[in-house]
Amino acid sequence: MKTLLNIGVSAAILGLFVISCDDNDDYQTIETVDKIKIDSVKIVNDTMDVYTVQSIKTYSTYSSHCEGFYGYDYVHSDNLTRTVTAYKYITNGPCAQGNYTAAGQINFSPQHTGTYTFKFWNGDNNWITKTIVVE
C-alpha cells in the first residue's frame, strides 16, 4: 500500500511539472544582428586615474521597436587606441514603428597611464573620435 501511495504522489508531482512547462509563444525571436551607427558619445570626464572605472555612453537611433541595442565590437588597436562598433538586434514580431534613440554603455577601466583614443563607428568610413587622459 505504501508503494502504491509513493507511486501516486510521484505521478502527481511529475504531472505538475509537465503542466507547468507551458510553451509560451509570447516573445519575439532575434532574426538578425547588424551594425548600427553611433550618433553621439557622452564621456563625463576626459581625465581619470588608473584602475578607476568610467562609464562611456553611446547613443544610436533605431527605426522601429523591433530593433534594439545588442552589443559592441570593442577592439584594442594598440595599447592606447580603441575602436568601437555598435550592433543592433532585429526581431520578427509586430512592433511599434517610428524612430527612437537608445543608449549603450561601456565601462572603461584603464590599466596604464597615457592618452587613450576612442574611435566610434558613425557609418560608412566615418568615426567619432574622443580622447581620455589617464594619469
The domains of the chain are located at 29-134
Q: Return the pLDDT at 107.
A: 96
Q: Return the pLDDT at 94.
A: 86
Q: From CA 114, how far away is CA 133, in angstroms rounded?
A: 6
**To the nearest 10°, the Cα dihedral for 72, 77, 79, 80?**
-70
Determine the Cα angle at 63 with ends 58 and 89, to 5°. Answer: 65
Beta bridge partners of 40: 59
Under DSSP, is residue 115 helix (H, G, I), strand (E, B) or coil? strand
Q: Span 10-21, mean pLDDT?
A: 49
Helices (H) and strands (E) counted in the chain, each on its own, are 1, 9
Q: What's domain 29-134's architecture? A: Sandwich (2.60)
Distance of CA 111 to the CA centre of its chain: 23
Q: Summarize pLDDT for 72-127 with one digit per residue, the tens.
A: 999 998 989 999 999 999 998 888 889 999 999 999 999 999 999 999 999 999 99
| Pairing verdict, β 127-134 and 114-121 | antiparallel
Q: Check if the beta carbon of residue 116 is closer than 8 Å to that of residue 80.
A: yes
Higher pLDDT, residue 24 or 30? 30
Higher pLDDT, residue 22 or 102? 102
